[in-house]
A and B are shown apart, each in its own frame.
Chain A
Amino acid sequence: MTFAEIRERAVAEWEVMERSGKPRILVGAATCGRSAGALDVLQTINAELAKRNLDATVIQVGCIGLCYIEPIVEIAKPDRPRIFYSGVNADIAVQLIEDYLVNDNPRPDLALGALGEGSLDGVPQLFDLPMLQPQVRVTLRNCGFIDPEDTNHYVVRGGYSGLARALQMTPEQVIEEMKKSGLRGRGGAGFPTGTKWEFCHRAVGTPKYLICNADEGDPGAFMDRSVLEGDPHAVLEGMLIAAYAIGASEGYIYCRAEYPLALERLDIALRQMKELGLLGDNILGSDFSFHIKVKEGAGAFVCGEETALMASIEGKRGMPRPRPPFPAQSGLWGKPTNINNVETLANVSAILERGGDWYAGYGTEKSKGTKTFALAGKVTRTGLIEVPMGIPLRQIIYDIGGGIVGDKAFKAVQTGGPSGGCLATDLLDISVDYESLTAAGSIMGSGGMIVLDEESCVVDVARYFLDFTQKESCGKCVPCRVGTKQMLDILTRITRGQGQPGDMDLLLSLGQTVNQGSLCALGGTAPNPVLTTIRYFRHEYEAHINQKRCPALVCLDLITFYILPDKCQACMICQRSCPVDAIKGGKKLIHVIDQSKCVKCATCYEVCPERFSAIVKVSGETIEVPEEPIPLGAEE
């Protein structure tokens, strides 16, 4: 089939659906929606429609990125704007069917936003919502709006026109278009995509391979999963364009097995592509042939590193090897290979569709385009966002993220996952682009963004990330295998109150050895969380080491719970809740915590009625309390 025929058929089928007059119900049922109960909602909707004998089209769509209010359901009725409802459960779903589908009351009270022509009183436009308004969605252009299992939906929204355009160009022209766009690798390293393709294009050897790196491993990053689940064709089209540009005939998608839904969607999409002549020999009637295999990764963080990834595809242990030779010269099975990340490839299809100049219109001088971020942690609105490069960090956290939960104070933001760093308050106004983040000691990485508030201990956060990298080290090179372990031991000691003077200097010096000596980027960047927290939060380390005090009251060995005798009303709630019977006391006897038994689970702290607030959590200080329970009122 030619592209014109594919497009014609898609548009025709889309119009049939539009004109059918049937309401459409779109349920956000990506992994995030499902974990919030989207499948229950879906089941309820289907059952309710059957029970009432209503005719409606129900579609599972991907995630629009508003993770904090999943599950999200969109209802589109003819001659009405499309209305998005958030936090839908089975009850609300039944109400929506009853009220909106049957009685035509769109329930503005439950609606989150509206989209399309027309408006609804009291319901804002979806893209005017504070979380969505500053966003520019390129990678995520279709996520949550199309049926990822129906190629027609993708094609109707412009899909595969980028490929069709690329096939009219020479590979060199496609590479030139990529260079013009300024796109840089979204997997973390930020290498210019066009240049990378050019290396592989010029390399001698056949066959050439194109690999899509979908081994997303950073804790807290989920953009690749979301794109594969919500818009797999965007990535696959990007793969075809990249393969055409470099001259690859074989492709692999290395996707982690922990993403079953993404794998399923990929499987369906690949089957559809073959049926439409978008994959295999002579794609869209051209001379270009390309085949794709999916390789499931077994869940090793290091396999996201390109040389380890290729070793894993070859059936070997996933361990990085030094470069040179670079994959473009000698990659998979010794052949020229190009590896791009999921997000990069999803951008590629958009760039070829709309032009390199259009893409380069976003972003900064050296960091063009848009970038997705997985906004998580202590921020009010968590989710998956996409913003133009160069946006101030503050705008992401406060405008899009809605600031810190519970109006607590912002402390730091960790960007780039375990390879990145913690940035403090005075860096809130830096521009989010490759250069600025690197200059601040962090990295862009794959786009994890974890916000910490005043109740988070940065030493503990650094310890957490180092624990992760230490465990995920492949063990091959000495600095990464041993150095991260040594640094972790020191950090653990500090969080346990056994820090020694000089520990910070030792950490800095070990961190430098690990950074300079490691074989791959896993080890090379592993010290970043420690180095940046020492750089920006030296006083917190000093408090832990010198005063044995955790200012954020997090490190268990450094905090103590006390029951204030003048506030305790001997209600016995805490005593009954204590899991280790560490609270002594009784009726009309004020309670006392036996510190030798206390495991610092904070249960008492949480259950003590607010009107008493008799339990305090302190660090680095001792509060004088009776050793044994004394009668209520006796202390006065």
Chain B
Amino acid sequence: MMDIAKLTIDGKEVEVERGATVLDAAAKADIYIPTLCYHPDLTPFGACRLCLVEIENMRGFPPSCTTPATDGMVVRTSTEQLQGLRQGIMQFILTEHPHPCLTCHRLEHCKPFDICLRHVAVTERCVLCPKNERCELQQVARYLKLSEITLPYESRELPIERGDPFFDRDYNLCILCGRCVRICQEVRGLGVIAFTFRGHQALPGTAFGRSLKDSDCHFCGACVDVCPTGALIERAGRWYTLPEREVVTTCPYCGVGCQLKLEIKDERIIRVIPQRDNSPNWGQACVKGKFGLDFVHSPERLTSPLIKENGQFREATWDEAMDIVTGKLSQYQRGTEFAAISSAKGTNEENYLVQKLARAVMGTNHIDHCARL
């Protein structure tokens, strides 16, 4: 069987490996197809129906995200009929999602995040959406250039779930793309959330509607990271809008070394987003990396070594502190008087050095590590 499929998309020829989808092939040919439920880390779902395309010799409008690219395929991604169909489907989505951010008559007069006092109902104002201008739905809807939205929006009128730590769940903004459900099941292996109810009542949720705390959630925040709208949102950074700059760094918590992207505004970390294209974490983090970096801004955080003299701490330099430590340690180099406990925050190499110090310098085998305790 051929391992390469050569297909034509909108007149462009493109070659992809076997197993790639039509959407992958289009991306390779630099052709944008709008998507919402698609996410590169998840198995294709085919639910949002925005990536529908026309393929010669195939019936109807197959979704490009689930259709395997095969040799000789002729694909069209932006015929007039497809545009109309996508616009119709986007209109359907917007009947379930407040959208004055797309339709407000002040749109052209306002700058992003201008204070808005009266033009739209309070709960539906663009500035009161925590994902405003960061929202994938907003971007795709703008791309589709809906000329008018005639179908009525009907609020689900659900209370915002604020009972859990770290993030809020506002299912009034949910578009049922299923990314949260899939990432929890497929990537995190937990399945804390699933679709509940059917028909127009269907929504992601926990078993029996319990809180996440009571549903085995590890609060890794993966669902928040993949949510295309403001339905799942970090509570701490909720109102910070767009970051001023981003910093990629290594998580300080443990030796795994997860790569995190810090979003910075006013010299504060407003959000932490695990880096998708890096080892070792490939877009994932744990609760500490995702939600635990606020200690950086704690006024109680130590910024220099302290030395206790006469019952009082005083600030000292690193040289001074190290002299005291080495001076004192050298008095205990006789095996039984010294023990070392090292930390999982250190890397393997650092932990190796600790035991080397204990055995070779301090002459003891009393060594332990917090990961064992």
Which A residues are in CB contact (< 8 Å) with B96?
Answer: 482
Q: How far is the CA of A516 from the CA of B61 in the complex (A)?
A: 7
Minimum C-beta distance from A335 to chain B (A): 18
Q: Which residue of B92, B194, B195, B203 contacts A482 across the interface (Cβ within 8 Å)?
A: B92
Judge if A474 is at the interface, Cβ distance under 8 Å: yes
Q: Are B199 and A478 in contact (CB under 8 A)?
A: no
Interface segment, one of B6-14, B45-53, B343-351: B45-53
Judge if B68 is at the interface, Cβ distance under 8 Å: yes
Minimum C-beta distance from B18 to chain A (A): 13
Q: Are B95 and A482 in contact (CB under 8 A)?
A: yes
Judge if A135 is at the interface, Cβ distance under 8 Å: no
Judge if B158 is at the interface, Cβ distance under 8 Å: no
Q: How far is the CA of A485 from the CA of B194 in the complex (A)?
A: 22
Q: Are B67 and A324 in contact (CB under 8 A)?
A: yes
Chain B residue nearest to A325 (CB atoms) is B68
Q: Are B198 and A475 in contact (CB under 8 A)?
A: yes
Q: Are B202 and A481 in contact (CB under 8 A)?
A: yes
Chain A residue nearest to B67 (CB atoms) is A324
Judge if B237 is at the interface, Cβ distance under 8 Å: no
Minimum C-beta distance from A579 to chain B (A): 32
- A window 381-432: CB within 8 A of B: none
Which A residues are in CB contact (< 8 Å) with B93?
Answer: 478, 482
Q: How far is the CA of A322 from the CA of B96 in the complex (A)?
A: 23
Secondary structure at the B interface, as helix, strand, loop or mixed, is loop
Q: Are A477 and B200 in contact (CB under 8 A)?
A: no
Q: Are A482 and B199 in contact (CB under 8 A)?
A: no
Minimum C-beta distance from B206 to chain A (A): 14
Q: Are A475 and B92 in contact (CB under 8 A)?
A: no
Q: Are B199 and A479 in contact (CB under 8 A)?
A: no
Question: What 0/1 readout, one digit per residue, does chain B (148-177) give for beta carbons within 8 Å of chain A?
Answer: 001100000000000000000000000110
Q: Are B195 and A317 in contact (CB under 8 A)?
A: yes
Query: Given that A477-B47, A481-B202 are contacting pairs, would A517 and B195 also be in contact in the complex, using a CB cutoff of 8 Å?
Result: no
Task: Name the residue among A324, A479, A484, A517 with the largest chain B CB count within 10 angstroms.
Answer: A517
Category for how many chain B residues contact A: 35 or more
Q: How far is the CA of A484 from the CA of B95 in the complex (A)?
A: 12
Q: Are A322 and B198 in contact (CB under 8 A)?
A: no
Q: Are B202 and A475 in contact (CB under 8 A)?
A: yes
Q: Are B67 and A513 in contact (CB under 8 A)?
A: no
Judge if A483 is at the interface, Cβ distance under 8 Å: yes
Minimum C-beta distance from B112 to chain A (A): 27
Q: How far is the CA of A160 from the CA of B342 in the complex (A)?
A: 74
Chain A residue nearest to B202 (CB atoms) is A475
Which A residues are in CB contact (< 8 Å) with B194?
Answer: 317
Secondary structure at the A interface, as helix, strand, loop or mixed, is helix
Judge if A471 is at the interface, Cβ distance under 8 Å: yes
Q: Are A476 and B200 in contact (CB under 8 A)?
A: no
Which B residues are in CB contact (< 8 Å) with A471?
Answer: 198-199
Judge if A321 is at the interface, Cβ distance under 8 Å: yes
Minimum C-beta distance from A507 to chain B (A): 12
Query: Given that A479-B49, A485-B200 are contacting pairs, would A516 and B60 also be in contact in the complex, using a CB cutoff of 8 Å?
Result: yes
Judge if B197 is at the interface, Cβ distance under 8 Å: yes
Q: Which residue of A475, A513, A519 contacts B85 across the interface (Cβ within 8 Å)?
A: A513
Q: Are A474 and B202 in contact (CB under 8 A)?
A: yes
Q: Which residue of A317, A473, A479 contacts B89 across the interface (Cβ within 8 Å)?
A: A479
Minimum C-beta distance from A419 to chain B (A): 16
Minimum C-beta distance from A498 to chain B (A): 13
Q: How far is the CA of A513 from the CA of B82 in the complex (A)?
A: 10
Chain A residue nearest to B185 (CB atoms) is A316
Q: Are A322 and B88 in contact (CB under 8 A)?
A: no
Which B residues are in CB contact (< 8 Å) with A519?
Answer: 46-47, 49, 63
Q: Are A486 and B46 in contact (CB under 8 A)?
A: no
Q: Which residue of A470, A477, A486 contacts B199 across the interface (Cβ within 8 Å)?
A: A470
Question: What total of chain A residues lie within 8 Å of the partner, measured CB to CB?
Answer: 34
Minimum C-beta distance from B160 to chain A (A): 21
Number of A-B contacts (CB under 8 A): 102
Q: Which residue of A470, A478, A485, A513 contacts B47 across the interface (Cβ within 8 Å)?
A: A478
Q: How far is the CA of A629 from the CA of B331 in the complex (A)?
A: 115
Q: Are B151 and A486 in contact (CB under 8 A)?
A: yes
Q: Are A472 and B198 in contact (CB under 8 A)?
A: yes
Which A residues are in CB contact (< 8 Å) with B197?
Answer: 475
- A window 454-473: CB within 8 A of B: 470-473
Q: How far is the CA of A300 from the CA of B178 in the complex (A)?
A: 20
Question: What 0/1 readout, one digit per residue, does chain A (103-122) give for beta carbons within 8 Å of chain B?
Answer: 00000000000000000000
Q: Are A513 and B89 in contact (CB under 8 A)?
A: yes
Q: How far is the CA of A353 from the CA of B44 in the complex (A)?
A: 44
Chain B residue nearest to A476 (CB atoms) is B47
Minimum C-beta distance from B20 to chain A (A): 14
Query: Given that A322-B67, A470-B199, A472-B198 are contacting pairs, would A517 and B176 also be in contact in the complex, using a CB cutoff of 8 Å?
Result: no
Judge if A319 is at the interface, Cβ distance under 8 Å: yes
Minimum C-beta distance from A510 to chain B (A): 7
Judge if B317 is at the interface, Cβ distance under 8 Å: no
Q: Are A486 and B92 in contact (CB under 8 A)?
A: yes
Which A residues are in CB contact (< 8 Å) with B85?
Answer: 513, 516-517
Question: What 0/1 readout, one digit per residue, does chain A (298-336) give for beta carbons within 8 Å of chain B?
Answer: 001010000000000000010101101100000000000
Q: How far is the CA of A176 from the CA of B59 in the complex (A)?
A: 27
Minimum C-beta distance from A307 to chain B (A): 10
Query: Given that A324-B67, A483-B92 are contacting pairs, would A518 and B49 also be in contact in the complex, using a CB cutoff of 8 Å?
Result: yes
Task: Name the residue among B52, B61, B68, B88 with the largest chain A CB count within 10 angstroms.
Answer: B88
Which A residues are in CB contact (< 8 Å) with B89?
Answer: 478-479, 513, 517
- A window 214-254: CB within 8 A of B: none
Query: Given that A475-B201, A476-B47, A481-B200 are contacting pairs, would A517 and B178 also be in contact in the complex, using a CB cutoff of 8 Å?
Result: no
Which B residues are in CB contact (< 8 Å) with A319?
Answer: 195
Which B residues are in CB contact (< 8 Å) with A473?
Answer: 198-200, 202
Which A residues are in CB contact (< 8 Å) with B61?
Answer: 516-517
Which A residues are in CB contact (< 8 Å) with B63?
Answer: 322, 519
Judge if B255 is at the interface, Cβ distance under 8 Å: no
Question: What 0/1 readout, one digit per residue, does chain A (476-507) give for beta carbons within 8 Å of chain B?
Answer: 11110111111000000000000000000010
Query: Given that A470-B200, A472-B199, A517-B85 are contacting pairs, would A477 and B49 also be in contact in the complex, using a CB cutoff of 8 Å?
Result: yes
Minimum C-beta distance from B109 to chain A (A): 31
Judge if B66 is at the interface, Cβ distance under 8 Å: yes
Judge if B257 is at the interface, Cβ distance under 8 Å: no
Q: How far is the CA of A476 from the CA of B45 in the complex (A)?
A: 9
Q: Are A475 and B151 in contact (CB under 8 A)?
A: no
Judge if B62 is at the interface, Cβ distance under 8 Å: yes
Judge if A509 is at the interface, Cβ distance under 8 Å: yes
Query: Given that A482-B93, A486-B151, A509-B88 are contacting pairs, would A475 and B200 also be in contact in the complex, using a CB cutoff of 8 Å?
Result: yes
A–B Cβ pairs within 8 angstroms, 21 of them: A321-B46, A321-B66, A322-B67, A324-B68, A471-B198, A472-B199, A473-B198, A474-B195, A474-B198, A474-B199, A475-B197, A477-B46, A478-B47, A478-B49, A478-B89, A478-B176, A506-B150, A509-B88, A510-B88, A516-B61, A519-B49
Interface residues of B (CB under 8 A from A): 44-49, 52, 60-63, 66-68, 85, 88-89, 92-93, 95-96, 150-151, 175-176, 178, 194-195, 197-203
**Other A-B pairs beyond A474-B198, A478-B47, A479-B88, 17, CB < 8 Å:** A324-B66, A324-B67, A325-B68, A473-B200, A473-B202, A474-B195, A476-B176, A477-B46, A482-B92, A486-B151, A509-B88, A513-B89, A516-B60, A516-B85, A517-B61, A517-B85, A517-B89
The 5 closest A-B pairs by CB, nearest first: A475-B202, A513-B88, A482-B92, A322-B46, A322-B66
